[in-house]
A and B are shown apart, each in its own frame.
Chain A
């Protein structure tokens, strides 16, 4: 009766430790509305928040994320927005990298040890969230609120 919330499901590959935003392969003509992500319940100001937004292929690890960003962690709420995404179906995952190793650390059986969150606040059910659990539609200006917690 255990779950499988492995790091492989949440790890955002190696984050490029650049400033804010990396938009990959998105032409300006394709850009839709503004996506605003409000990260809530951030438990501490330690380390950085890493957010990755992508389609199903990116979520399942077979394509790069369309948007990846690193923000300083702050207790409570941290907001991020991007204009880089065309309208479509996406999922967002967030992790708080407490120790700066660029990964969501997991324990002996693969359960996350650092705070994390996903769009729809998906937490999984007898296993990690699926893309469908975390899926949201970007249609024009869109706002998401995502809890970041252990």
Chain B
């Protein structure tokens, strides 16, 4: 599918452009969504959050596992509207951080909108002010730094005693882990203040933290190496022009791997961020393999054009071969198209995500990819046992859908546990109007890596308008949840989380 810009050019050439509203502003999107949500309950997951904070006890059912205690921190776009203006992309929603506090005494849910500069400025102005990821409001204010438009809405990171709310093109926001109050922009040190820190850092079992960030106008990617105490060990810049934006990356015992899709940054001040990019399906996705010990040592390889939001894990064998997995789509139409359309209450076209296994032979300089499942079986939000992060993993947990389990909504509707060693897949399918969010693996205390534990994840029941936390035994996910904790309200569909043990 052509990039949006190419599509517009094509329509302009055909004389169709005059009939197509290029920028539909203000309440057209809001009205369109408000009508659609009456018709399709699943769209309730994309409503704008109506509250600033939440704090309540959930109703627990089933048999709560002994040993499952701690906090599931989650983040996601939540405020989608200001005044009569609705954002034009799901990823523009202002972030809300949640804490699901789990223990034998019950389950408590807290939620709080991150008080970003943007949120405060727009609230004071009473209108949307800034160009966003996929939204250009009328009469936009100038953007003088990435943190002007940092909505802190993708993920969270508990690390060195801090809780950080993560966006991907700016600073982390520090959050009080108890109250979820926003403390402010977080800087690892003075020289790295304001340097982009992506929402998908990788943490080694010993607490060593790696991340990347992209600087679109600079044409480079920043690499971060941080110790378990939050001290920056080193940082580097790699010129990657033509500039693009990766969302996730991989780390092994020796290397950092980034896939750079042919979604070129074209710049321009008049557009939102997505519109400042062009998709080039004829060009490769570049594979950038960097030495962890020396960020100036970079090996470049190529794969066919593809778009991967999320990877599960990477590890490296003693032959210098890197193995990793990711949810691969042939192109980024979900992001360019479907996640815009949903904000109008429409189903946009989207490519299918099929989980792939990749091998990079660092000695021979080759890369290969193989689908792990049938084409009809889609995956996203892959996670692993955090105790084997960057090491060889046998197990993968992810959300899924397939042709045999179609439901009324177009989103993922199942959760799966896959064993590489046994080549064995278990699935659980949610009901027709239930939309699961990312599910994590939570190890049982004292267990060996990738043995006992639980799959813990939230799901939005669009008919009941309730969000529910579900707990599965990892060895029997197909049997359904062993325990649930249900709120008497529904939350906007979110993105990623991290579990912090008691």
Task: Please report A residues at the B interface, Cβ cutoff 8 Å.
Answer: 1-5, 107-111, 113, 123-127
**Chain A, residue nearest B216 (CB):** A2
10 A-B interface contacts by CB (under 8 A): A1-B133, A2-B170, A4-B217, A107-B191, A109-B194, A113-B193, A123-B144, A125-B143, A126-B269, A127-B269
Contacts A4-B215, A5-B144, A125-B142 supplied; 14 other A-B pairs, CB < 8 Å? A2-B169, A2-B214, A2-B217, A2-B218, A3-B217, A107-B192, A107-B193, A108-B195, A108-B222, A109-B215, A110-B218, A124-B144, A125-B144, A127-B217
Is B358 part of the contact surface with A, judged by Cβ < 8 Å?
no
Q: Are A108 and B216 in contact (CB under 8 A)?
A: no
Q: Are A126 and B143 in contact (CB under 8 A)?
A: yes
Is B309 part of the contact surface with A, judged by Cβ < 8 Å?
no
Q: How distant is the Cα of A17 from the Cα of B32 in the complex, in angstroms?
A: 63
Q: Are B269 and A109 in contact (CB under 8 A)?
A: no
Task: Report which of B133, B195, B216 forms a contact with A107, defined as CB distance below 8 A.
Answer: B195
CB B279 to nearest CB in A, in angstroms, measures 18
Inter-chain CB contacts under 8 Å: number: 68
Q: Are A126 and B235 in contact (CB under 8 A)?
A: no
Is B397 part of the contact surface with A, judged by Cβ < 8 Å?
no
- In this complex, which of B133, B142, B149, B195 has the most chain A Cβ atoms within 10 angstroms of its Cβ? B142
Task: Please report B residues at the A interface, Cβ cutoff 8 Å.
Answer: 133, 142-146, 149, 169-170, 190-196, 214-218, 222, 235, 237, 267, 269, 273
Q: Are A3 and B143 in contact (CB under 8 A)?
A: yes
Task: Report which of B145, B214, B273 forms a contact with A3, defined as CB distance below 8 A.
Answer: B145
**Chain A, residue nearest B149 (CB):** A1
- In this complex, which of B133, B170, B215 has the most chain A Cβ atoms within 10 angstroms of its Cβ? B215
Q: How distant is the Cα of A107 from the Cα of B216 in the complex, in angstroms?
A: 16
Q: How distant is the Cα of A109 from the Cα of B269 in the complex, in angstroms?
A: 20
Task: Report which of B142, B195, B216, B222 forms a contact with A1, defined as CB distance below 8 A.
Answer: B216
CB within 8 Å for A2 and B192 given contacts A108-B222, A125-B269, A126-B143: no
**Chain B, residue nearest A111 (CB):** B194
Q: Are A108 and B218 in contact (CB under 8 A)?
A: no
Q: Are B145 and A111 in contact (CB under 8 A)?
A: yes
CB within 8 Å for A1 and B192 given contacts A109-B215, A109-B218, A111-B145: no
**Chain A, residue nearest B169 (CB):** A1
Task: Report which of B145, B191, B216 forms a contact with A5, defined as CB distance below 8 A.
Answer: B145
CB B267 to nearest CB in A, in angstroms, measures 8
Closest 5 CB pairs of A and B: A125-B142, A123-B144, A4-B217, A1-B169, A2-B146
Q: How distant is the Cα of A109 from the Cα of B220 in the complex, in angstroms?
A: 9
CB A83 to nearest CB in B, in angstroms, measures 33
Q: Are A113 and B170 in contact (CB under 8 A)?
A: no
Chain A residues within 8 Å of B142, by CB: 123-125
**Chain A, residue nearest B271 (CB):** A126
Q: How distant is the Cα of A4 from the Cα of B143 in the complex, in angstroms?
A: 11
Q: Are A3 and B144 in contact (CB under 8 A)?
A: yes
Task: Report which of A1, A107, A125, A126 forms a contact with B194, defined as CB distance below 8 A.
Answer: A107
Chain B residues within 8 Å of A2, by CB: 145-146, 169-170, 196, 214-218
CB B212 to nearest CB in A, in angstroms, measures 13
Q: Are A1 and B146 in contact (CB under 8 A)?
A: yes
Chain B residues within 8 Å of A111, by CB: 145, 193-194
Chain A residues within 8 Å of B149, by CB: 1
